[in-house]
Amino acid sequence: MTDKVKVLLALPVAAEQREQIEGVSHRLEVTSLSRAQRLAWREGRPLWAGYQEPPPSGDETPQAARARLDTLLADSEVILSNPMVPGDILKRAPKLRWLQLTSAGVDRLLEAPVVRTPAVDVTTASGIHAVPISEFVVGAMLAFAKGFPRALRAQDEGRWNAYLPDELEGKTVGILGMGAIGSRVAALAYAFGMEVLAIRRSVGSRHKGDGHVAEFMPPSELPYLLGESDYVVVAVPLTDESRHMIGEAELRSMKPTAVIVNIARGAVIDEPALIRALKEGWVGGAALDVFEQEPLPAQSDLWNLPNVLLTPHVSGGTPRYMERAIDLFCDNLHHYLDGRPLRNVVDVERGY
Higher pLDDT among residues 163 and 42, named by residue: 163
Report pLDDT digits (tens) over 217-272: 999 999 999 999 999 999 999 999 999 999 999 999 999 999 999 999 999 999 99
Residues 175-191: what's their mean pLDDT?
97
Domain co-membership, 144 together with 76:
no
Residue 148 inside a domain? The answer is: yes
Residue 267 inside a domain? The answer is: yes
Residue 350 inside a domain? The answer is: no
How much is the pLDDT for 45?
75
At 47, phi and psi to the nearest 5? -80, 140
Domain co-membership, 86 together with 139:
no
Domain co-membership, 97 together with 140:
no
Q: How far is the first Cα of the chain from the last one, in angstroms, to the nearest whole number?
A: 27
Residue 185 inside a domain? The answer is: yes
- Categorize the per-residue pLDDT at 137 as very low, low, confident or very high, splitting at 50, 70 and 90: very high
Report pLDDT digits (tens) over 283-314: 999 999 999 999 999 999 999 999 999 999 99
Residues 15-21: what's their mean pLDDT?
97
Residue 54 inside a domain? The answer is: yes
The catalytic site residues sit at 265, 294, 313
The whole model's pTM is what? 0.92
Residue 344 inside a domain? The answer is: no
Distances (CA, A) of 325 to 128, 136, 194, 348: 7, 19, 31, 22
Residues 187-194: what's their mean pLDDT?
98
Residues 1-27: what's their mean pLDDT?
92
Domain co-membership, 109 together with 244:
no
How much is the pLDDT for 288?
98
The burial of 216, by beta-carbon neighbours within 10 Å (0-12 exposed, 13-18 middle, 19 or more buried), is given as buried
Domain co-membership, 124 together with 237:
no
Q: How many CB atoms lie within 10 A of CB 42?
A: 18
Question: Looking at residue 334, which CATH number applies to its domain?
Answer: 3.40.50.720
Residue 199 inside a domain? The answer is: yes
Residue (of 173, 151, 185) closest to 264 by Cα position = 185
Domain co-membership, 124 together with 141:
no
In the chain, the number of structural domains is 2
Domain co-membership, 205 together with 306:
yes
Domain co-membership, 60 together with 177:
no
Report pLDDT digits (tens) over 139-176: 999 999 999 999 999 999 999 999 999 999 999 999 99
pLDDT reading at 2 higher than 70: no
Range of the domain at 190: 130-310
Residues found in the chain: 352
Domain co-membership, 89 together with 186:
no
pLDDT reading at 36 higher than 60: yes
Domain co-membership, 77 together with 102:
yes
Range with the poorest average pLDDT among 38-47, 111-120, 157-166, 197-206: 38-47
Residue 284 inside a domain? The answer is: yes
Domain co-membership, 183 together with 277:
yes
Domain co-membership, 82 together with 213:
no
How much is the pLDDT for 20?
98
pLDDT reading at 1 higher than 50: no
Report pLDDT digits (tens) over 46-103: 765 556 666 666 668 989 999 999 999 999 999 999 998 999 999 999 999 999 999 9
Tell how far CA 40 is from the center of its chain: 24
